[in-house]
Structure 1
Amino acid sequence: MKREIQKIIKKALIELKNTYNWVDFELPEIIIDYPKNEQFGDYTSNIAMVLAKKLGKKPMEIAEQIAENCHLVPQLADSEPASQEDSGEKNSKMLKKIQPDAYSAFEKVEVAQPGYLNFYLSKKYLQDLIVKINIEKNTFGNSKLGGGIKVNNEFISANPTGPLTVGNGRGGFFGDCLSRVLRKAGFEVTSEYYVNDAGGQVVKLGHSVLKDDQASYVGDYIDKLGKKYASIDDVVEVGKISAKEILENVIKKTVSEKMHITFDVWMSEQYLNDEGFDQRAIEILKKKGLTYEQEGAVWLKTSNFGDDKDRVLIKSDGENAYIAGDCGYMLNKIGRGFGRIIIGLGADHHGYVSRLSAVAKALGFSGEFKISISQLVRIMKDGKEVRMSKRAGNAVYMDELIDEIGHDVARFFFLMYSHDTHMNFDLELAKERSSKNPVFYVQYAHARISSILEKARENGILNFQFSCLPDEQENSNYKTNLLIHESELSLLKELSKFPALIEEIAGDYNVHKLPHYIIKIADKFHSFYGACKVIDETNPELTNARLSLISAVKIVLAEALELIGVDAPEKM
């Protein structure tokens, strides 16, 4: 719907520009938002204020001219436009009422001080939405935005040197949710885990397992590996064997069985080295003239591409520096034809953002490149940070947290907060089995709807059928035009936002919007349920209409929960 409004405004501006010979200007991005106060409509735009300086006109004058060119017919009003920035009573002037055959999704558009354009959805559009959702089911909200563009979404990628921590888990849930949303938005997504199974960390693991004076890692898992491989004295061999065992028996089990994440590709650093991707990348960079020698080392001109300094590519002893592996992996991704590359990193990897971006540009990647940093997590109880691990060491491990509170709660809580902000995880709230716990609250809404529909089915009153076109509903056995109660329309307005939300997240990667949207749907359903009797034996037509409404709510709730990877229970 936001894109439709953008088209309406853009068309109006082009007409105005031609009609009034406005000064030539480049059309800025038309931002469409939801008003903070529902009295100011369902969608709002500040485009008139954005254009005021360019056109040398007052924002209100521009807003009224745009409204007059939205293919609307005049509606007289006595009052002056109210200020949208005021919190007082609504006192805005309806400038135009939508023609039946033009942009029928809208009832009217109003202007409000200091120059907002406010669009109001029509009741018919909202009522027809019930039919659309019930017919499309879980495909409602699917978008062609991605156009089949191939996306590589790499996340977690923790070293195979120990169990996954809650920090890894936060990045994992974020990455998995993002992959799900991008697929719904029409992208072809590859979820990928990069396994650092070569190099220094594997050697460190070997030292730790053999418990020599260079040991770095501690924990009961290290002790078990030490007993198992005590007879092997080759540090590198022990490191490689141990890394493989940790990957297969610890990390992959946590990812699949505990976190319910499926990776399409597990990319091995050792494989990339064996296939010579790092050397191929180095040769390409040399041929492009992007390297130079200094103090016996080969340097990469990453500063040419936004990095704060150049990076050593080949050390003075002839060994490849770490960034050479990054170059090889990037070359591999580019070679697989991805149009978008997303890399999820932990809070301690801020320094990698500019260098990885520079590597992508240096190797000729012209698509969209994005690095997402997942910030630190603290597990809190009674206002204090706690350790809940039964293992030795200082980390809080993901599998133990999920065992403590459950997968659905862990996912929902992590995804409620923007991944790039620090998070205090409330352990007590996570364990609550009441409406205070947002996971319980939204799942209960889905279960309650399921129960109502099942009861109606058992009693033989679930009679609505969605096989005809919305315009034919007057002759059908469901009358969605009976749904005019404020709580019904408010609920429908929230459902109507789902498709736009998918496209927003596919663009800005702010997946935390989804859990908050789900909570809002549950809020509005509970308000509706308290205000309206769903099953009214004295009014079968209204009963059918309301059953069709809650069926639509159930569909959107279930699909939104699926996108964040949380179960939608039929019973609780």
Structure 2
Amino acid sequence: MQIREQLEMLVHEALEAAVADGSLPLESIPEVGLERPRDESNGDWASTVAMRCAKQAKMNPRAIAQAIVDHLPENQVVAAVEIAGPGFINFRLSDAVLQGVVREVREAAEDFGCGTVPEGERKINLEYVSANPTGPLHVGHGRWAALGDAMARVMRHAGYDVHEEFYVNDHGTQMDVFGNSVGVRYMQLLGHDAEMPEQCYGGSYVADIAQGIIDEEGNKYESMTDQERMEAFREYSYDQMLKLQNKTLSDFGTTFDCWFSERSLYVEDENGESPVSRSLKAMDEKGYVYEDQGATWFKSSALGDEKDRVLIKANGEMTYFMSDVAYHYDKMMRGFDHLINIWGADHHGYVKRCECMLEAWGWPGALEIVLGQLVNLYRDGEPVRMSKRTGEMVTMQELVDEVGVDATRYLLLSRSSDQPIDFDIEVAKKKDASNPVYYVQYAHARICSVLRRGVEAVDPALAEAAREGEASMADVAERIIPEGVDLSPLTHPTELALMRKMDDFGPLVALAARDRAPFRLTHYAQDLASLFHSFYTSCHIMSAPEEVRQARLALADATRIVLALALGLLGVSAPVHMVHTEAQADEDAAAQAAE
């Protein structure tokens, strides 16, 4: 049980006792509502419950606060409590309960902070990226890839049932335009005087695909009609682009449970029905479909949309919206009861009609849209809009190739999705404290270096195995930290601050999952890393007396575990080696020995 939960239980028991003996004339027990004081001098936790129930009790808030304090049961959690201002109750935790966090982290390991959502919580379909298979992924797609993947990781750690899905927009005229664009480039490369049509994909990657076809099959398609060539190249190019997108995302650490093809929505079963026809029939049965001037319409205005929406044009052509209707209906039919879509901010005008379609079927509130802002690329403060290689947009792959997966993911997750991100490529490449991901990873690597140094004196072979990656840091920690290690020496302010911060991890994960806000973990990781660096500077580890050294090694190990967890939930690695960490460890050890 988290410390906050223990404290809330104690205050709740105090309220019940005060009500029972008549000290507090309350008809119902209010929520305790603990929060961190802005000023650490006011303690570890504070409650405003006395002020919130003053009207009901018809008492002075300070008198209510005193009654609560007087009825607190005996416990090992609270070291001191005071009443401040108009009725704040400030609690200072005991060292022992904070030290228990270290033990809890090390026992739970990778399960630390795992939550359990309420029984009956919904099965969630999380759809993100979902780019057209007509070109390489751009930097904006990279942001949605990082966000969606991290969101899924955080939500799963908090106990949610999450299914990740990529919707492949492989139906419609844009696919024909793509195939035709490749066909024109193909003919041009073979020496024909062919002009690209006004509606086309003009990126250099189109010519690359065409050249690839020539390299593989020569002029095999030269004598075909434009239509035959378009159809052949449409399928070939679609396959090539989908493989490229899949590889880019996989290399980025983002994988999906399902790549759902839009084309499948139009495939009929043995009864002649398709997901499109089934979704339309279900909407019609609810009374939200009508015909007008030969077109089929969705009566979305009856559900709050600004106007009705066309589903099928008068010429029989399905609209893009019809595909979305069928797709979302299919999701619900597959057993999901809450849908989360991550879209770019330019889709904000599309949200209401999609919410209406779920409501039309009888699932109001089942669709949740997360809108995200753009990524602004910079290099040393100067805007970057074009690729140096092609003179076109900077692709996701180019950014990752230059900056690396970890830095790209971390910086793309560093702000809330509803805020634009200014991504400076040169800052992301720096190997110093100005780069936040380096700063956090360095703290983790530094702890690993300390643990390896600790094991060298007692088990050189294990130290070497850990250095070569053949033994885990958990193995190293187990070798040098006794089971049931005495943690009572951990009383220095920097040690207590580290333990407080680690205790915040579980509640933070729960809130980040609830609010779809994995960016909070980047801030948490930086704060935890900063607290560790402060502790490491203030408290000697290896040169301390044995009982203190063992306790501090346990604290360092617990910090390593939580840092690795925070980074892992962001999809970022927690390296055990980094440039300078070993040299820095030698320098630190020499300096501490000299003191």
TMscore range, shorter length: 0.7 to 0.9
Q: 2:537 aligns with which of 508, 526, 530?
A: 530
User: Within the alignment, does 1:247 sit opposite 2:231 as a pair?
Assistant: no
1:284-338 CA distances to partner (integer Å, 9 max, x unpaired)? Answer: 0101112233343332232344433332222232333222211211122112222
Match status 1:256 vs 2:258: no
Partner of 1:39: 41
Matched, 1:133 2:105: yes
**Structure 1 residues 61 and 304: CA distance shift in structure 2, 3 A:** farther
Does the alignment pair 1:569 with 2:560?
A: no
The whole-number CA distance in structure 1 between the counterparts of 2:11 and 2:232 is 66
> 1:203 deviation in Å?
2.5
TM-score in terms of structure 1 length: 0.85
Matches of 2:534 and 2:41, distance apart in 1? 18
- Unpaired segments of 5 or more residues in structure 1? 73-98, 467-475
Partner of 2:547: 541
Task: Report the counterpart of residue 468 of structure 2 in structure 1.
Answer: none
Q: Report the CA distance shift for 1:316/1:5 in structure 2 as closer, same or farther (over 3 A).
A: farther
Which residue is 1:188 aligned to?
A: 161
Q: 2: distance between equivalents of 1:245 and 1:334?
A: 31
Structure 1 window deviating more from structure 2 (199-208 vs 324-333): it is 199-208
The 8 Å contact of residues 541 and 549 in structure 2, kept in 1 or not, is answered as yes
Q: How much has 1:363 moved relative to structure 2?
A: 2.4
Match of residue 265 from structure 1: 258
Q: Does 1:198 align with 2:215?
A: no
Partner of 2:420: 422
Task: Indicate the larger mover: 14-23 or 181-190.
Answer: 14-23
Q: 1:521 Cα shift?
A: 0.8
SS of the residue 1:481 aligns to: coil
Residue of structure 2 equivalent to 1:495: 502
Aligned residue runs from structure 1 range 351-362, under 5 A: 351-362=349-360
**Residue 218 (structure 1) shift:** 1.9
SS at match of 1:482: coil
From the superposition, tell whether residues 60 and 214 of structure 1 become closer, same or farther in structure 2 (CA, over 3 Å).
farther
Query: Equivalences for 1:71-150 in 2 at 5 Å?
Result: 71-72=72-73, 99-100=74-75, 104-145=76-117, 149-150=122-123
TM-aligned CA distance change 1:17 to 1:336, over 3 Å = farther
Change (3 A) 1:465 1:59: same
Structure 1 CA distance for aligned equivalents of residues 281 and 32 of structure 2 = 45
What secondary structure sits across from 1:39 in the alignment?
helix
Q: Kindly provide the CA deviation profile for residues 121-148 of structure 1, in whole angstroms up to 9, marking residues without a partner as x.
A: 3211111121111111111111112657
Counterpart contact for 2:410–2:572, Cα < 8 Å: yes
Deviation of 1:11 after TM superposition, in Å, equals: 5.6
User: Deviations for 1:41-89, whole angstroms, at most 9, x for unmatched residues?
Assistant: 22334445555566666554554455455x34xxxxxxxxxxxxxxxxx
Cα deviation for residue 237 of structure 1 reads 4.8
SS in 2 for 1:555: helix
Q: CA deviation at 1:12?
A: 5.4
Aligned counterparts of 2:57 and 2:558: Cα–Cα separation in 1: 45
2: CA distance between counterparts of 1:111 and 1:368? 45
Taking the aligned partners of 2:439 and 2:297, their CA distance within structure 1 comes to: 56
Per-residue Cα deviation, 1:142-184 (whole angstroms, up to 9, x for no partner): 1112657422111111111111111010011010001111111
Distance 1:455 1:486 in 2: 25
Aligned amino acid, residue 162 of structure 1: G
Identity %: 38
Q: 1:219 aligns with which of 203, 218, 227?
A: 203
C-alpha deviation, 1:241, in angstroms? 3.2
Q: CA deviation at 1:362?
A: 2.1
Q: Equivalents in 1 of 2:487, 2:552: separation in Å?
A: 8
Displacement of 1:185 in angstroms is 1.2
Given candidates 157, 160, 163, the residue that maps to 2:133 is: 160
Q: Which residue identity does 1:205 align to in structure 2? A: F
* 1:93 aligned residue: none
Distance 1:492 1:252 in 2: 41
Instruction: Output the CA distance in 2 between the equivalents of 1:204 and 1:32.
Output: 59
Question: Hey, what's the Cα distance between the residues in 1 that align with 2:437 and 2:550?
Answer: 29
1:498, CA displacement in angstroms?
0.7
Using structure 2 for the length normalisation, give the TM-score: 0.82
2:380/2:427 contact within 8 Å kept: no
Residue 561 of structure 2 is matched in structure 1 by: 555
Structure-2 residue corresponding to 1:465 = 482
For 1:416, what is the secondary structure of its paired residue? Answer: coil
Q: Do the aligned partners of 1:197 and 1:240 also contact (CA within 8 Å) in 2?
A: no
**For 1:26 and 1:456, how far apart are their aligned partners in 2?**
51
Q: 1:550 to 1:295 in 2, by over 3 A?
A: same
Match of 1:210 in 2: 183
Amino acid paired to 1:465: P
Distance, in Å, in 2 between the alignment partners of 1:9 and 1:375 is: 42
Q: Identify the residue that residue 467 of structure 2 maps to in structure 1.
A: none
Equivalent residue, structure 1, for 2:152: 179
1:244 is displaced (CA, Å) by: 2.3
Secondary structure, aligned partner of 1:360: helix
Per the alignment, do residues 495 and 196 of structure 1 end up closer, same or farther by CA in structure 2, a change over 3 Å counting? same
Q: Judge conservation of contact 1:146–1:187 (CA < 8 Å) in 2.
A: no
1:484 to 485, 491, 495: 491
Counterparts of residues 443-458 of structure 1 (less than 5 Å) = 443-458=441-456
Which stretch of the first structure deviates more once superposed, 481-490 or 148-157? 148-157
**CA 1:553 to 1:362, structure 2 compared with 1: closer, same or farther past 3 Å?**
same
Counterpart code for 2:481: F
Supply the RMSD in Å over aligned alpha carbons: 2.7
2:192 is aligned to: none
Secondary structure, in 3 states, of the residue corresponding to 2:413? helix
- In the alignment, which of 258, 267, 281 is matched to residue 274 of structure 1? 267
- Which of the residues 332, 335, 348 maps onto 1:334? 332
Gap runs ≥5 in structure 2: 185-195, 215-220, 269-273, 460-478, 579-595
Cα distance in 1 for residues equivalent to 2:68 and 2:290? 57
Q: Give the number of the structure whose alpha-carbon radius of gyration is greater.
A: 2
Go from structure 1 to structure 2 and tell me whether the alpha carbon gap of 1:294 and 1:30 turns closer, same or farther (over 3 Å shift).
farther
Kept in 2: contact 1:302–1:311 (CA 8 A): yes
